Amino acid sequence: MQIIEHQDIQLNNLISYNTKVKHSDILKLTQYISDNLHVLDLKKNDNIIFAEKDHVNDEMVNVEILIPVKGKIEKCQEYDYKPIFKLNNAVIIRHEGNLNDLPQTENILHNFIKEHDFQASTQPYYIVVRNGTIDSDDCIIDICIGIG
């Protein structure tokens, strides 16, 4: 697997949605959000990013989902507005396959960081390049970690 170093990611005009969800349902939720942005008169203009804040138990996780959109984001109790998201000097690895295998790909990235004596400065962020099918066997997710 190829790991790319020294990447900068910047997205503007984002919806930040924090929720608790089954780990296995994260991609279903990102697809649902993407499919229903029109209700808010918004259009997605880049890939959705999510970050796992913490695990509630073996199945449930608290996540922040960042959706870059075109259009004016109105204030709402269900979500927040984030004007900009920046991730500087990141290392990135691409995961292709089932969402359940994501931790193995992430471990490869963490091992790369250790082997090169890098210091992680952020939690992992997951960029949903392709959501995949209902069973998520063909999803593509870029795993990004900022390094110091």
The residue among 21 and 24 whose pLDDT is bigger is 21
Q: For 38-87, what is each residue's pLDDT tens digit? A: 998 999 999 999 999 987 787 899 999 999 999 989 888 889 999 999 99
Cβ atoms of 97 and 138 closer than 8 Å:
yes
Domain boundary assignment for the chain: 3-146
Fold category of 3-146 in CATH: Multidrug-efflux Transporter 1 Regulator Bmrr; Chain A (3.20.80)
Evaluate if residue 30 carries a pLDDT over 80. yes
Residue 133: its pLDDT value, please?
Answer: 64
CA distance 78 to 85: 19
Cβ atoms of 34 and 44 closer than 8 Å:
yes
Evaluate if residue 136 carries a pLDDT over 70. no
Q: What is the mean pLDDT of the chain?
A: 92
CB atoms inside a 10 Å sphere around CB 70: 12
3-state secondary structure of 80: strand
Residue 11: its pLDDT value, please?
Answer: 97
Residue 74: its pLDDT value, please?
Answer: 85
CB under 8 Å to 99, separation ≥6 — which residues? 23, 24, 26, 27, 132, 136, 139, 141
